[in-house]
Structure 1
Amino acid sequence: MKSESMETHKKKAPKSVKAAVLTLSDSKYRDLQNYEDTDLSGRLIVDSIKKKNQLVGYEVIPDDAELLVSSVEGMIQDDHAEVIITTGGTGIGPRDITIETLKPLFEKELPGFGEIFRYESYKELGTGAIMSRATAGIYKNTVIVSMPGSPNAVKTGLKIIVPELGHLVKHLRE
């Protein structure tokens, strides 16, 4: 059952937003010459963004906290991104630094994205979904969404977030 007021809000939302994509992967970064061929998750996000929105940036960086913050700052200041979608670095391994780096920057967290993402993942994968730390938040009036690096996880995340991009940006503009 859909909310009438939410549908009204969505109708007033921008039809297109400025979005940037950031892949965190040591291996893809090492193979930068071929990353457009090997970065399947990043390309899925890029292709999804380009369908209805404006792609203003796309980078592949290693799993490095300082570089992550620098890239996010650049996408906000230089590319004027209203939305940044990251993929990779959300696991529980020692090199997975995306969540620890971005969460402290968030002025507001959007826990619903991670909750729905884990629920949808649970329906597909079972209890292994507990390892997902996918999250979203607001930083400097920009929506930041962090998803795992696997293409299947990205597909799941895109189904959740892409329909709401304009709606989210509308609320940030108010």
Structure 2
Amino acid sequence: MTQALARLPGLGPRSARRAVLHLIKKRETALVPLVAALQAVERNLVTCAVCGNVDTRDPCGVCTDPRRDTASLCVVEEVADLWALDRARLFAGRYHVLGGRLSALDGVRPEDLAVDALVARIAEGGFAEVVLAMNATLEGQTTMHYVAERLAGSGVRVMQLAQGLPVGGELDYLDEGTLALALRARRLVE
């Protein structure tokens, strides 16, 4: 069990050992409910055929929510990105999960991502704006440019997230790339 937990992100061998010892010590209050929850997830979890989110139903709760703006679509790399954006409650539209990012080093090609499904979804109509919410990494930016090229001529406005200084960030601790983006995106003080 320790080896299985140690393979999870954020848990090394020592953290996994501590977790296992805690689960053994608290078998009835921690281990049994955890096992039951994991079995329920394994039985009920599905990938949404529309957007690529994971949920207990298909289409997912995000796709079936009638309060969402059906004219805006946010494209993300992974489900975790969708969850982070949705948790912030700053985007009220629909989502599309690509399932990764282009990476020559990792062997991830365009056909390995859900880009064709995105293009088909846009071609069905109804969307006025697509927000490309890719990570500010080389692979994320490469993916963003590839998706933008694929959507060119589709009639939708293709946007990207703003980049630059983080709130609370100090200039002395920022890398040159972040500073360069912040300078290029400078605006008038209001």
What TM-score results when the alignment is normalised by the length of structure 2? 0.35
More helix by share: 1
Structure (1 or 2) with the larger CA radius of gyration: 2
Could you say which structure has the greater relative contact order, defined with CA pairs below 8 angstroms and 6 or more residues apart?
Answer: 1
More strand by share: 1
What TM-score results when the alignment is normalised by the length of structure 1? 0.37
